[in-house]
Structure 1
Amino acid sequence: MSKAKMATVWLDGCSGCHMSFLDIDERLITVGKLADLLYSPLVDTKEFPEMADVTLVEGAVSSEEDFEKIQKVRAHTKILVALGDCAVTANVPGMRNPFKPEALLDRAYLENADENQHIPVKVIPPLRKMSVPIHQVVDVDVFVPGCPPSADTIFYVVTELLAGRTPDLTGKTRFGA
């Protein structure tokens, strides 16, 4: 029997959920026995696979690049997991929503810069009007709140999904912890 195919994706967030995933520590060996990690900021693969069985998505949809990426990920994923408060609610990235993208860029690259004052256009993807949780763009199968979710919670969710079960997160996590 072949192993499951797994991916992790980082949109607009701090990478805390990926750090928590790494905090699984030696249990990563167990995950590795159950699934091949085909795409992730933790590996060198540049293209999302044709199909992943489970994809953990960290972060909110804040840029055009995030928007395009989450649509591609959803189209090529059987079970999509919103991992962490940014993916579930837009959390910290959503704090920019009262401001227009132009005002944010002016503040970051013009007002707060002492030298080389200009707004980059090649390395910074265009911002969307609002930063939104991923379920406002694509269908999500499992929501895992927490900022970040604990390593124990992430391990539980991943192993349950890879075993073909829907994880029951009752009492296992909460927003902000």
Structure 2
Amino acid sequence: MNTIWADRDGVHDALSTEAEAMAWVRAIGPRLAPEHTAPGRQWSDDQRPGDIGKTAGELRVLRDALRRLAAESTRDPRQGWTSPVSRNAAVDAINQACATAPTWSELRWAEDSEPDRCLRSAEPPWGAAVSLLAERAVEMFTSDTRSQLRACLAPGCVLYFVRAHSRREWCSAGCGNRARVARHYQRHHPDNALA
């Protein structure tokens, strides 16, 4: 859901083009399902060009659904960054994404090692990325993790994060610093409040 971010140059979208979406999936794919990555092989090498556009579109739909539900879960007060998708449409989009690629567990147990559980899919890894992300979203929204989901309220930030410590208020140290600087400025220049 944090494929949209803001910096000094404005708001950016990591899924805005097919090439950017492919680069994003290649970057996060091994973290989603490390067992899909063979040594010396890119995570999404077997994707056909026509499928990339379809998958990039599915990723954008899923991202918008996740941002809508995250905004609702966190009672996000920021204006303009919440997805315009309705709650029911967001839930439907996540459920459809979960249903796109059947997956199953596989037991691996080499001679001199501990047993290991692997996730397998009938889909190529690139196509399975959408359903894997949707499954992780369902896990997050239906577990205790949802109560720790927060919108970063630092000036100019559009990200969400899972609060791992009770005192954490921002997605990063940089955002925390920006928020403190903004508060300091408002205290010392009450007539020129930052936007």
- One fold, TM greater than 0.5? no
Q: Which has the higher strand share?
A: 1
- The structure that has the greater radius of gyration is 2
Q: Which has the higher helix share?
A: 2
**TM-score class normalised by the smaller sequence:** under 0.3
Task: Identify which of structures 1 and 2 has the higher relative contact order when contacts are C-alpha pairs closer than 8 Å and 6+ apart.
Answer: 1
- Give the TM-score normalised by structure 2: 0.24
